[in-house]
Structure 1
Amino acid sequence: MHDLAGLEARFGATNYAPLPVTIVRGDGVYLFDEQGRRYIDMMGAYSAVSFGHCHPRLIAALSGQARRLDTISRAYFNDRLGPFLARACALTGMDAALPMNSGAEAVETALKAARKWAYKVKGVPADRAEIIVADGNFHGRTITIVGFSSVPQYRDGFGPFPAGFRHVPFGDATALAAAITPNTAAFLVEPVQGEGGINVPPDGYLAEVAAICRAHNVLLLCDEVQSGLGRTGRLLACQHDGVAPDGLMLGKALGGGLLPVSLFLARREVMDVFAPGDHGSTFGGNPIAAAVGLAALDLLVEEQLVERSARMGAHLMRRLQAINNPLVAEVRGRGLFVGLELRRDVDAGDMVRNLLQAGVLTKDTHRNTIRFAPPLIIDERQIDWAVDRLAEVLDAAVPQTVTEAAPAK
């Protein structure tokens, strides 16, 4: 057998640092390597595999549509896109949806819509529109998006960046109100920050933000590419605060883990700023993507995965919070979107590699945090097994001197 990891390292770019395991098969919440060893997937491909790996209904939707009609571009209507968009709008309460591929493309679409809305509807002078973003954000990897990131590595070497963005602290509604000017078009925010460290804002934050945006005629754009579609125990994470945004971005789980599918959804007033030729995508809204996206939304409802995420997420939080280990600084999250932050003198990357050896796959992220976002089909027994392995790995990492000392946070 070829050295598969070696081939990837030799011929691929080094923009990722994969863990030392080569996955060849997936089934439900489990992944298998070249030697047939089984691992439990506690990361879910950054929320993309919410339905588990290779779900038979999604595979059937994909293969059935692929045998009938593939990509024809948006130069023509197709029989799958309309039902998909209608279902997405009905579930989210939005008026209209624009299909793209990746989450970053959905965010770029939202930025274009917000700026054009500012000029055509709000009356902001030409080329003066501003969009406010939150510190610690992660909305993708395009030049525009990394340009307003607050992570130095994401920006290093990629400038100059597009202008027109302002930053405020995440979770601080007062700071948002102070940052708004007559030229402010929108506030772009993740209801729960994923890559930033599974950061959950204070209760009521989004509701206060929504009220501020309404008062100043500013669009509220919620990036739910990671947090949406049941991940936090509600269909949308913004629903925890009873908020209906002006614009919404979905992706990752929308493609059932099989292919990239994303949507920008919005109120009609916002979406109607687009005219033919303003925006588009060759593959966005293709029949296969639409068929899989529709099947994923149907599956989410019929298998009650949003409700399951709330129940299993509460169990995961209880188990993680019960870990009695001085290396743990904090456990935070909503639903099956949870982060376990370690003390600053402990390397979360080391713990993730040790978890790999124990049969648990996940990844570390910012704030020295281990991320947990397993498929929504996970059950209590599987959660217990994964948390037990985590507890063993953490216990093995505690030096005797630390064990005898008071826990340091």
Structure 2
Amino acid sequence: MGRARIAVIGGGPAGLMAAETAADEGAEVVVFEAMPSVGRKLLMAGKSGLNITHSEATDTLLGRYGRASERLDQAVRAFDGAALRDWCAGLGVETFIGSSGRVFPREMKASPLLRAWLARLADQGVALRTRHRWIGREGSLHVFDTPGGRVAEPFDAAVLALGGASWPRLGSDGKWVGLLTGEGVPVLPFRPANCGFEIAWSPVFVERHAGEPVKAVLATSDAGALAGEFVVTRWGIEGSLVYAHAAALRDRLERDGQAVLMLDLAPGREHERLARDFARQPPKASFSNRLRKGAGLDGVKVGLIRECVPDAPSLDAGALARTVKALPLKVTRTRPIEEAISVAGGVSWDGVDDRLGLVAAPGLFVAGEMLDWEAPTGGYLLTACFATGRVAGRAAAAFAARR
């Protein structure tokens, strides 16, 4: 009896981890990727410093996955932040913990890690076939569109790691949805996660402040009160603090048709102190000077107050202090899903067993962003992709060995 043959369809982090794990189990593995090269989204993520995981305790880390935390529990516990750092070390990639607890490769970039990883996969005998777009199954055959025409190959099992629907130019285009629903797999609509939001800025505000960062603020939504910074854009807001609130704002928009991100522009000062400091300002002082001398605010923060509360210059000291401590940013919609860092939705957990096998399609396993989970930025996205890839790769190898 020959070695089990496993197809891994999708060459991102989840797929490559599934390939490595299945090969470790003794399977013959072929990775198929629709794009000209593998790991494109990983490389894009590494352009500003590859945040590969987070150093916080595993129980805390699991809480970042919200409703999906229970279904991801076993996978993430088996390959948490500490295990992922050990795995990087095994590739010769040293990591460090940043001031926020996020974990990065010492070189910050993704390319050295990807090169070392591909070298390991080659040593394991894993074959890579790029420009192969999966178009479904015909019995035991997996069918692909290639530049040379349609090809079909038999495999004993397959792992699907085709991504979600964000950044389609890097390969995650969601075109697999129809293929799986056609086999009876339940798939939930994709929704943007870790995304920007649109705000109806005035032309004057856009002209003066688009592109400026808003630093050292406390933002509150249904997600709670979180500190950080974000960026004003021509169409609205984006950045790490916005992404941390993205799921809550998106859900509120879907439910109520409107959502508000409440900003505390001076989180280090209490309302009473601000009111006293504003009251001390000369009656003839300009609005900008009142804010600068009374609260230490200038630039884009002053612009936000003028934009969101047009009558702010006429407010008394107490009301102005309340405005600084609770400035409402009214968001009107999410940015398009193609621009989102990640997505919610995808293959429903109702259609997946504990080993990430598709109940309606025996022999098919799923990993990564195809599954219905979401998490904030901070290393959590990659952690779950790696962790689910390991589970799916091992399960596919075990399934194939029984055939």
TM over 0.5: no
**Alignment TM-score, normalising by the size of structure 2:** 0.24
More strand per residue: 2
**Alignment TM-score, normalising by the size of structure 1:** 0.24
> Between Structure 1 and Structure 2, whose CA radius of gyration is higher?
2
